[in-house]
Amino acid sequence: MEVIKIVSIGLIGLVIIVLLKQYKPEYALYASLITGILIIVLILDRLSGIIQLIQSISNKANVNNQFIAILLKITGIAFLSEFAITICKDSGEAAIANKIEIATKIIIISMSIPIISSLLEIILKILP
């Protein structure tokens, strides 16, 4: 039933945004932000369940918890940046959206360096 709530909030937000663009275009961005935030709040419970499942599986598989934390942070950065990029593009600010996209890609690459170096060390140990 969460899907119905999410779709309903999205459609109601869409109608409000379309109406605001006709009469008060400066408020349409705020309506879009509020709609997006409401939808994110609705899925936070599911997200925490997914995180707990990933941590449980990683503990059973003896995976380094630091790597799991990095992967979860990278995933969070990707989601947040996509949200911000979409808002910027909807506002007609494609240049800012592109800068956010480049910056977050650089951040993700820099955060993934410990995982990449660990994988390279494992590969070097396997190779003669």
User: What is the pTM for the complete model shown?
Assistant: 0.76
Residue 24 Ramachandran class (φ > 0 left, ψ -120 to 50 alpha, else beta): beta
pLDDT tens figures, 91-103: 889 999 999 999 9
Of the pLDDT bands very low, low, confident and very high (cuts 50, 70, 90), residue 105 is very high
67 burial (CB, 10 Å; 0-12 / 13-18 / 19+) is middle
- Ordered by start, the domain boundaries in the chain are 1-61, 64-128
